[in-house]
Amino acid sequence: MEFSCKDYKFPLGSGCYVMGILNITPDSFSDGGLYAEPESAVKRALQIENEGAGLLDIGAQSTRPGHTPLSAREEIARLKAALPEIIRRVRIPVSVDTFYPETAVFAAENGAHIINDVSGAVSSAMAEIIREYELGWVIMHAAEVSGPGLCGEVHGWLESAAKKACALGVPANQICLDPGLGFGKDAAGCLLLIKNTARVKVSGFAYLVGGSRKRFIGECCGNPPFDQRDAGSIAAHTAAILSGADFIRVHAVKEAVQAAKVANALLASK
């Protein structure tokens, strides 16, 4: 089994891959403004690659609670300044966060390999773009959910979403499912989803966990500033890897790569 995004193939089942986060926004919850200028964005993208990430995920729009959404035109304008040069320079697949089909087309036509779809839905418009450009498609659960049935509910939604995407003509190996940590879930819910990764993931599909520096990490650690939550993030992601996560999405790439190597070695040990 593998996850496919254009010319890149990621074999699944033998360990976890690290996806490095690059936010080119002025208002992201953790690192907003640090890489909003094209020169700093390109420099950080190259650093993420050099630190060992297998994939690069670029966000041009904040998804923090309470943010004011950009229009597709505004999102594309932000990407236009940095995305083409980043894709020209790096040698790892590039993912673009968006819920707009227009942005997805722009990203694909400029060489992106994956659409990290944060809409919490499976649309025929996005499926058509994924098919046409042979992109990877990260589909995320975003609905509010809590209580003892949370893991089963998220699993059920992800399974239905994957089936719908396949029915729309997207090959299963181009689909990656994301439980949406922090989206409609409190700290207890996020911890349950991580602990029960093996139960929540859907057989036959790649699975991504992204808990880096999020609120639930802060709540577990006494609410330190966002940039002081990397050790807690590593603990959460390591637990997810040991329970079956195929990809982790992180800010602190160098440290996460080292942690993933140890977790992968533990999985391989006999």
Residues labelled as active-site residues: 214, 249
Whether domain 2-15+94-268 has CATH 3.20.20.20: the reply is: yes
- Residue 53 is predicted with a pLDDT of 98
User: How does DSSP classify residue 174?
Assistant: G
- Residue 31 is predicted with a pLDDT of 54
Q: Please, where are the H alpha helices in the chain? A: 38-50, 72-89, 101-109, 124-133, 150-167, 187-195, 197-200, 215-220, 230-242, 253-268
Cα(6)–Cα(103) distance, integer angstroms: 18
- Residue 65 is predicted with a pLDDT of 62
pLDDT tens for each residue of the chain, 270 residues long: 999 999 999 999 989 999 999 999 875 555 556 766 888 899 999 999 999 999 999 998 876 665 678 899 999 999 998 999 999 999 999 999 999 999 999 999 999 999 999 999 999 999 999 999 999 999 999 999 988 899 999 999 999 999 999 999 999 999 999 999 999 999 999 999 999 999 999 999 999 999 999 999 999 999 999 889 999 999 999 999 999 999 999 999 999 999 999 999 999 997
Q: How far is CA 19 from CA 67, 221, 224, 245, in A?
A: 24, 23, 23, 12
Which sequence spans correspond to the domains of the chain? 2-15+94-268
Quote the pTM value. 0.94
